[in-house]
Amino acid sequence: MKLTIHGAARQVTGSMHLLEVGQYKILVDCGLDYEKDRSVISNENFPFNPETIDVVVLTHAHIDHSGNLPTLIRLGFDGQILCTSPTADLTELLLLDSVNLFMRKAGERNKHHKRGRGKHSGHVQPLYLQKHVMDTVERFVTIGFNKPFRITGDIELTFVPVGHLLGAAAAVFKINDKGEEKSIAFTGDIGRKNYPVLNDPQPLPPVDFLVSEATYGGRYHSKDKTVEQTLIEVIEKACIKEQGRLIIPAFSIGRTQSLVYTLNKIFSMGLLPPVKVFVDSPMATQATEVFRKYHSHVNQEAQEFYQKRGDEFEFDNLTYVETLKDSRQISNYWEPCIIISSAGMLEGGRIQDHLFYNIQNYYATILFIGYCAKGTLGHRLLRGDSIVHIKDRELAVYATIKQTDVLSAHGDHDDLMSTVNAIGKDRLKHVFLVHGEGESMQLLANDLEKEGYGVTMPEKGISYII
């Protein structure tokens, strides 16, 4: 059995791992790599022939795990994509949104090139088109949580819930490798306990090998305040005392639903005076419908809230903004308000319009509620840049920039350690760390090694016989 880490090796994005059992090839995740100013089109340079992959296993919908699937299919993969039902629905939304982004960026680059400003020769093509996304959707084969699925006579797959996002799962394989029983788990992304809307991660079963994410290695979520307390404090200052506007960049899928549900609790219980809330993301509106569709997958607290107070994702003073015209009208809304818009790292989406009009507004507060990868506009604002480039303009930053990790959907250092310790040293032969920046991985590796685990931080493309 051979394992090769082809993506998210000592970085966060581009998760893609190849597991070979004899001649049979399983690709676990196929995400977009958008770090370190990599061009989007470089994602089509697969380190293997897509035609040789037998099956893809998708842990969850986020684009750094799913976003390169249509390219894989465009270049010859013709097998099944195994995932949970919510993952299939959410991935379709994200991939269609990616097509729009690729088309827009390709158009912009071609326009610059036509004017003689570009460095690129020839016409820039988008990475994939809508027809490739629909080809991808047709390949989905959905599997329930904790239901063993036999891929071949020698390979069995079980999806174990890990929180983080609706439908997200660790992929656990039991394998007969030339008569020897082996097991390996890929965590995907691990969630955290007591997260709004989502269930807690379920402990993984005993396995021989673990490929674990390390996004929050060495970092610890603040535990002194609840999600509600943190949001009340920020809203009270930004919208009530200062009578300004609070802008929250939030990923449309997952983060926005958890945020809306929390705001619903705050306002419906009278913990703050009413404040107008705009959710300005068509994809967030569509994703919320998926959350409603899979209501049985949300946590017990959210289900009880629904029974007592109604829809978790609907309340007075909440508006889901649909058209671009309505989105632009928000700039003319001068009452205190909360604007939730995507994307969370500020790379594209309607959030850029809201930033463009508010980054120089002393009465605006921008609250980051998640991770921002290096190279993104969000990362530049968080590190304190006083001038940022938005929509072909250099703009001074006068708005208040804040950050909280209470709505981060990633487990922290303790959660990652708990995931490994639940398997235990007696069974677990080796841990491979992926999906994290070098420093985070090293800090997690150090603590795992102190506990007695064998740990590797693979370089991209290096293979391991296991």
What is the secondary structure of 291-358 as a DSSP string?
Answer: HHHTGGGS-HHHHHHHHHHS-TT--TTEEE--SHHHHHHGGG--S-EEEEES-TT-SSSTHHHHHHHH
Laid out side by side, the sheet with 180-186 consists of 149-152, 155-161, 169-177, 180-186, 209-213, 430-434, 455-456
pLDDT greater at residue 332 or residue 130: 130
Average pLDDT over residues 166-186: 97
Q: CA 1: distance to chain centroid?
A: 29
Residue of 91, 104, 103 lying closest to 130 (CA atoms) = 103
Residue of 253, 184, 292, 291 lying closest to 409 (CA atoms) = 253
Average pLDDT over residues 424-446: 96
Per-residue exposure over 162-177, b if at least 16 CB sit within 10 Å of its own CB, e if not: bbbbbbbbbbbbbbee
Give residue 311's pLDDT: 95
Half-sphere exposure of 156 toward its Cβ, with a 13 Å CA cutoff?
10
pLDDT digits (tens, 9 = 90+) for 244-295: 999 999 888 999 999 999 999 999 999 999 999 999 999 999 999 999 999 9
Taken in order 457, 460, 462, 464, the sign of the CA dihedral is positive
Q: CA 156: distance to chain centroid?
A: 26
Read off the pLDDT band of 450 (50, 70, 90).
very high
Tokens at 227, concatenated: 């999600």
Q: What is the mean pLDDT of the chain?
A: 93
pLDDT digits (tens, 9 = 90+) for 297-315: 999 999 999 999 999 999 9
Tokens at 394, concatenated: 């250099």
Read off the pLDDT band of 108 (50, 70, 90).
low
The residue extents of the domains of the chain are 2-112+123-219+409-465, 227-403
In this predicted structure, the answer to whether residue 394 has a pLDDT above a threshold of 90 is yes
- Please name every residue paired with 395 in a beta bridge, in sequence order, or none if there are none: 388
pLDDT digits (tens, 9 = 90+) for 348-369: 678 888 999 999 999 999 999 9
- 2-112+123-219+409-465 CATH: 3.60.15.10
Q: Which of 128-142, 156-170, 363-377 has the lowest mean pLDDT?
A: 363-377
Give residue 392's pLDDT: 86
2-112+123-219+409-465 and 227-403 in the same fold: no
Read off the pLDDT band of 153 (50, 70, 90).
very high
Give residue 121's pLDDT: 52
- Strand pairing report for 140-142 and 245-249: unpaired
User: Which amino acid belongs to residue 425?
Assistant: K
Answer CATH for 227-403 from 3.40.50.800, 3.30.70.270, 3.40.50.10070, 3.40.50.10890: 3.40.50.10890
| Region of 236 on the Ramachandran plot (φ > 0 left; ψ -120 to 50 alpha; else beta) | alpha
- Strand pairing report for 364-368 and 400-403: parallel
